[in-house]
Amino acid sequence: MGCIVSKKNTDVVPVLRRRLSLGEIGEDDGDDCGAEVTESDRSLLLELSQQQVLDYIQTEGRRFSLGTQTDKTLHEVQSFGAKTTQLVGESSFDGSKERVGFACKKGLKPEAPNQDSFLILKIEGKYNLYGVFDGHGRKGHDVSNFVKDNLPKILFSQGCFPDDPMEALRLTFEKTQYLIEKATFMKTIDATRSGTTCSVVLHSLKDDVLYCAHVGDSRVVLGKKVTTAVGEQWQAVDLTRDHKPDLPEERQRIEQNGGVVVFDGGWNYRVFAKGKKDSRGKRYPGLNMSRAMGDLTGFHDAGISASPDVNKSFIAVQPTTPVAAEGEGGEQKEALETSDSAIISSLAIHNESDKFILLCSDGVWEFIASQDAVLEVAKFNQADAGLAAENLASLAWEHWMTEMDGQVVDDITAVVIHL
């Protein structure tokens, strides 16, 4: 996603490509980053590839998963074409009854397939799991598909999952990154210079709590109805914080781990390995995110973070108060604090005010503010969640075409979930 060319040791990103995530789409060097694969690794990767995610869920109730599949024709899919999806566990999917809608559209990038992936998984009476994964780099579509397929399996196989979902999510992010490296060494995928965002929302139905975990900039937003002096109004609450390199905490961590943050001359700050170049004499990785799954050269050489840590703050959202987190000892602290990890947080749902969740790739958020997206979705009834997602994707496309002179449009994914 994006292209960097090198002239006289100066990295230049073509202006109309600077909105995209990665500044390099050329051939990867094939460096395996020193990974070793044990027989246990091979057995686990084989098991994960052979079993459906529903095999990991022991329940008598209704269950199904709906997710994207990499398009067989790859980059030949027409721009704004919908990505292929697969439904497992049900014969059909009725978004109006499920109160869930989605749109996953290929961007205006002739050289690349749709690299976004998403997942909708429901286990009757127990859990709902939603995820968006925005791939970047030459093989970003493979990495996003790998994470979409395997992260839920790893999550549901954690022994601590029923009693401690937050710890299970932390372990899952960590193990998924580990297996990405092993799979790259085995040449099952290639995450050497490719990666993906990873934003997941786990809804525990028995206690009406949301658990959010993410790395990257596929934002999760809560749409709320709040009472004000002029009546009821819609309010957007960001449940995740985009992981950008220019955030002071992120820049400090990157610089402490071998990276440097550089402005690309357009809109993005990008992460490079300090004082290092690849075999072609180019700086790397050129990522405009401070955290992601995969991106192994950036992970090892430039301080890109993927190892999850638990934010044990409890986010208590009241109808008329901003998001706040209660830490140990009862002190209040910022809900979306930054650490060297995925942010994982819990959110108690208030049925009278909390109405829907938006889970979107940055193809939506690049030109649409969270509040504007909430107002757009609020125009549609719950039964029309699919239409709401399609409308949001269309609006995002129009903004890209206008702002980028019809030259570049990122892949666009929008998932609308009514609570």
Per-residue pLDDT of 31-75, as tens digits, reads 555 568 999 999 999 999 999 999 998 888 899 999 999 999 999
Q: Note the pLDDT of residue 208.
A: 86
Tell me the residue range of the domain where 185 lies: 5-418
Which band of pLDDT confidence, cut at 50, 70 and 90, is reported for residue 350? confident
Q: Note the pLDDT of residue 334.
A: 36
Average per-residue pLDDT for the chain: 86
Q: Which amino acid is at 46?
A: L
User: Of all helices (H) and strands (E), which one includes residue 199?
Assistant: strand 198-204
Which band of pLDDT confidence, cut at 50, 70 and 90, is reported for residue 346? confident
Residues linked to residue 204 through DSSP beta bridges, in sequence order: 127, 209
| 345-364: average pLDDT | 88
pLDDT at 389 over 90: yes
C-alpha distance from residue 155 to each of 166, 213, 217, 279, 379 (Å): 10, 12, 21, 37, 35
Q: Are 349 and 419 in contact (CB under 8 A)?
A: yes
The alpha carbons of the chain give a radius of gyration, in whole angstroms, of 20
| 150-172: average pLDDT | 94
End-to-end alpha carbon distance in the chain: 34
Tell me the C-alpha distance between 324 and 331, whole Å.
Answer: 10
C-alpha distance from residue 149 to each of 67, 110, 320, 338 (Å): 9, 26, 38, 27
Backbone angles phi, psi at 380, to 5 degrees: -110, 150
Which band of pLDDT confidence, cut at 50, 70 and 90, is reported for residue 351? confident
Q: Note the pLDDT of residue 20.
A: 73
Which band of pLDDT confidence, cut at 50, 70 and 90, is reported for residue 223? very high
Tell me the C-alpha distance between 382 and 378, whole Å.
Answer: 9
Calculate ∠ Cα 14-15-18, nearest 5°: 85
CATH at 232? 3.60.40.10
| 243-253: average pLDDT | 94
Q: Note the pLDDT of residue 342.
A: 63
pLDDT digits (tens, 9 = 90+) for 312-345: 333 344 433 333 333 333 332 333 333 455 666 6
Q: Note the pLDDT of residue 33.
A: 53
Domain count, the chain: 1
More confident residue, 298 or 341: 298
Q: Note the pLDDT of residue 159.
A: 94
The share of the chain scoring above pLDDT 70, in percent, equals 83
SS3 state of residue 291:
strand
Q: Note the pLDDT of residue 352.
A: 78
pLDDT at 5 over 50: no
Q: Note the pLDDT of residue 8.
A: 36
Q: Note the pLDDT of residue 313.
A: 30
pLDDT digits (tens, 9 = 90+) for 76-123: 999 999 999 999 999 999 999 999 999 999 999 888 999 999 999 999
| 361-375: average pLDDT | 98
Reported pTM: 0.88
pLDDT at 247 over 60: yes
Q: Note the pLDDT of residue 36.
A: 83
Tell me the C-alpha distance between 35 and 140, whole Å.
Answer: 20
